[in-house]
Amino acid sequence: GQEERSMAAVLRGSRYLVGRCCKHVDIALVSTRSMASKTQVGFVGLGNMGNPMAKNLLKHGYPVIATDVFPESCKEVQELGAQIVDNPAEVADKADRIITMLPSSPNVIDVYTGPNGILKKVKKGSLLIDSSTIDPAVSKEMAAAAEKMGAVFMDAPVSGGVGAASSGKLTFMVGGAEEEFTAAKELLSCMGANVVYCGQVGTGQAAKICNNMLLAIGMIGTSETMNLGIRLGLDPKLLAKILNMSSGRCWSSDTYNPVPGVMEGVPSGNNYQGGFGTQLMAKDLGLAQNTATNTKTPVPLGSLAHQIYRMMCARGYANKDFSSVFQFLREEEGQ
Active-site positions read 208
Quote the CA–CA distance of 126 and 95 in Å, as a whole number. Answer: 8
Asked if 134 and 108 count as a contact pair (C-beta separation under 8 A), the reply is yes
Asked if 291 and 209 count as a contact pair (C-beta separation under 8 A), the reply is yes
Cα 40 from chain centroid? Answer: 22
Using a CB cutoff of 8 Å and minimum separation of 24, what contacts does 106-109 make?
A: 107/45, 107/132, 108/132, 108/134, 108/138, 108/142, 109/138, 109/141, 109/142
Radius of gyration of the chain from its Cα atoms, rounded to whole angstroms:
22
146 contacts: CB under 8 Å, gap ≥ 6: 112, 119, 122, 128, 152, 153
122 contacts: CB under 8 Å, gap ≥ 6: 92, 128, 146, 149, 150, 151
What is the number of other CB atoms lying within 10 angstroms of the CB of residue 69? Answer: 15
b/e per residue 139-174 (b: at least 16 CB within 10 A): bbbbbebbbebbbbbbbbbbbbbbebbbebebbbbb
Q: Letter for the amino acid at 270? A: N
Quote the CA–CA distance of 209 and 230 in Å, as a whole number. Answer: 32
Cα 147 from chain centroid? Answer: 23
| Strands 152-155, 158-159: pairing kind | unpaired
Local structure of 154: helix, strand or coil: strand
Nearest to 327 by CA among 230, 264, 260: 260
